[in-house]
């Protein structure tokens, strides 16, 4: 082959390849009436304020493909807003909260917060490990509630975006010093909020320690699925998959008994409204001022344990967890004193919490599943909140 033939062949080949590529490109012209692909989930960050001791607080906003939006601040890992669609597809915020850091700093009944190092109550603020007694700060009458005076709901967490295939995720980390609040061991905790594209929020908790300690983390969102916080939650239909609940004493510490829910107002095995039995004459309802109890969940492993449904809007919330218990609290202490964004105040029972967790006071009740964590062990638990409509 002489030089010019080679050149001609090369040119012909280049021309053929170019034509082929153009054809490939034109093979699938975009159909004019084709719906554009759904926008990818996003996560963004904005400054939210500064704590009195000078720590910067950020707000992260996660939005999934469908439009569900979850706002999380690094103070307390608080979910300040969480939108969910009604049966007409309209998104509204369904969790109680505030619209400024100042209000969260002033007074909050744990709105939307991460709770730790020990969620729920520890009797008389003390417990023993390996024969050594530890004294905690008491902040609920004689008892310690939700970690103590400065629990994980009142600290600034370090946040980083987590890469995920489906939706958006935020990882929060907090290192609690040995002796903080009276608890032994340096506890490193991480909480990942993962908003999936099918309208679920997966909350994954992990913790490790350098000394034997106790841990029981949970999430304290107050839901009102109507999206209208001037209405109470008594019309929501609830299920809790539990044959037994934990009766409490006058200070809301479990007596140690696991009592069958059968023939009591505590039976939510079939859907019933929160309000149906709440005014019944019942010693436990009197002690809790309504429902403020832990249910001993049926089954083990990760399973669906509870549902809440608001017929008016069609919003359905399904909760799955690997935890043995769930504290159902129906906003009995909301008394019209806390301000609502946009005006007004949060009235009695305008939100309910479903806090998946180990049983209250486990460190002092040897018959309850253990909440002890030793060096070399990993605490890992997961709870999913899934929204849909029906
Ligand atoms: C928990 C407790 C309730 C109440 C709320 C916050 O859920 O069980 O008794 O203290 O927190 O007000």
Which tokens in the block code for residue 172?
């929060």
Atom of ligand 1 nearest to the CA of 252: 9
What is residue 69's predicted lDDT score, i.e. its pLDDT?
98
Q: Which atom of ligand 1 is nearest to the CA of 288?
A: 9
Ligand 1 atom at minimal distance to the Cα of residue 121: 8
Residue with tokens 């996660």: 62
pLDDT class for 25, splitting at 50, 70, 90? Answer: very low
Residue located nearest, by CA, to atom 6 of ligand 1: 109
Residue written as token pair 């060096």: 375
Q: What percent of the chain has pLDDT over 90?
A: 90
pLDDT tens digit string along 51-81? 999 999 999 999 999 999 999 999 999 999 9
Catalytic (active-site) positions: 220, 355
- What integer pLDDT is reported at residue 335 of this predicted model? 98
Determine the pLDDT at residue 19.
Answer: 44
Ligand 1 centroid to residue 164 C-alpha, Å: 33
- For 123-159, write each residue's pLDDT tens digit: 999 999 999 999 999 999 999 999 999 999 999 999 9
For residue 39, what pLDDT is reported? 79
- pLDDT at 27 exceeding the cut of 60: no
The SS3 call for residue 238 is strand
Local confidence band at 308 (pLDDT 50, 70, 90 cut-offs): very high
Residue 275 Cα distances to 68, 111, 266, 326, 353, angstroms:
29, 22, 12, 19, 15
Residue 10: pLDDT over 60: no
Exposure class string for 210-219: b at 16+ Cβ within 10 A, else e: eeebbbbbbb
Separation CA 390–CA 388 (nearest Å): 7
Average pLDDT, the chain: 93
Residue owning the nearest CA to atom 5 of ligand 1: 109
pLDDT band at 18; cut points 50, 70, 90: very low
| 39 or 38: which leads in pLDDT | 39
Q: What is the mean pLDDT of residues 352-371?
A: 98
H or E segment to which residue 4 belongs: helix 3-27
Rama region for 343: left / alpha / beta (φ>0; ψ in -120 to 50; rest): left
Question: Phi then psi for 326, rounded to 5 degrees?
Answer: -145, 125
Confidence of residue 23 (pLDDT cuts 50, 70, 90): very low
Pure H helices in 89-235? 101-106
Q: Would you state the CATH architecture of domain 42-389?
A: Distorted Sandwich (2.70)
List the one residue out of 354, 133, 137, 154 whose CA is nearest residue 240: 354
Residue in 152, 351, 361 with CA at minimum distance from that of residue 252: 361
Structure confidence by residue, pLDDT tens digits, 94-132: 999 999 999 999 999 999 999 999 999 999 999 999 999
Region 347-354: what's the mean pLDDT? 98
Residue 312 neighbours by CB under 8 Å, 6+ apart? 226, 235
| pLDDT higher than threshold 70 for residue 383 | yes
Name every protein residue with a CB atom under 6 angstroms from any ligand 1 atom.
109-110, 145, 252, 292, 327, 329, 333, 353
pLDDT confidence of residue 340: 97
Query: Kind of pairing, strands 168-176 and 187-195?
Result: antiparallel
Task: Give the rounded distance of the alpha carbon of 152 from its chain centre.
Answer: 14
Beta bridge partners of 129: 132
Domain ranges of the chain: 42-389
């Amino acid at each position: 082959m002489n030089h010019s033939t080679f050149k001609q062949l090369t040119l012909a080949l280049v021309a053929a390849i170019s034509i082929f590529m153009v054809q490939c490109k034109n093979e699938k012209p975009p159909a004019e009436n084709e719906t554009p692909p759904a926008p990818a989930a996003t996560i963004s960050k904005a400054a939210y304020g500064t704590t009195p001791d000078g720590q910067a607080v950020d707000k992260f906003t996660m939005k999934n493909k469908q439009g569900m939006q979850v706002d999380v601040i690094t103070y307390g890992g608080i979910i300040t807003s969480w939108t969910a669609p009604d049966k007409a597809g309209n998104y509204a915020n369904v969790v109680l909260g505030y619209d400024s850091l100042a209000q969260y700093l002033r007074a909050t009944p744990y709105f939307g917060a991460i709770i730790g190092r020990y969620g729920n109550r520890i009797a008389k603020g003390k417990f023993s490990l390996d024969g050594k007694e530890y004294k905690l700060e008491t902040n609920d009458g004689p008892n310690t509630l939700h970690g103590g005076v400065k629990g994980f709901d009142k600290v600034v967490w370090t946040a980083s975006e987590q890469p995920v295939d489906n939706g958006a995720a935020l990882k929060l980390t907090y290192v609690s010093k040995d002796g903080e609040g009276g608890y032994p061991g340096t506890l490193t905790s991480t909480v990942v909020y993962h908003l999936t594209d099918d309208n679920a929020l997966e909350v994954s908790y992990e913790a490790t320690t350098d000394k034997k300690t106790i841990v029981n983390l949970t999430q304290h969102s107050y839901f009102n699925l109507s999206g209208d916080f001037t209405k109470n939650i008594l019309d929501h239909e609830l299920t809790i998959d539990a044959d037994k609940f934990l009766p409490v004493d006058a200070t809301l510490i479990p007596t140690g008994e696991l009592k069958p829910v059968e023939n009591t107002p505590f039976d939510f095995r079939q859907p019933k409204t929160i309000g149906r039995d709440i005014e019944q004459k019942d010693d436990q309802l009197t002690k809790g001022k309504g429902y403020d109890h832990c249910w001993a969940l049926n089954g083990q492993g990760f399973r669906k344990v509870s549902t809440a449904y608001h017929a008016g809007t069609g919003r359905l919330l399904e909760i799955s967890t690997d935890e043995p218990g769930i504290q159902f609290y129906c906003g009995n202490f909301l008394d019209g004193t806390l301000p609502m964004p946009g005006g007004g105040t949060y009235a009695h029972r305008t939100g309910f919490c479903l806090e998946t967790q180990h049983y209250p006071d486990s460190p002092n009740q040897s018959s309850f599943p253990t909440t002890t964590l030793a060096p070399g062990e990993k605490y890992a638990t997961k709870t999913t909140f899934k929204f849909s409509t029906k």
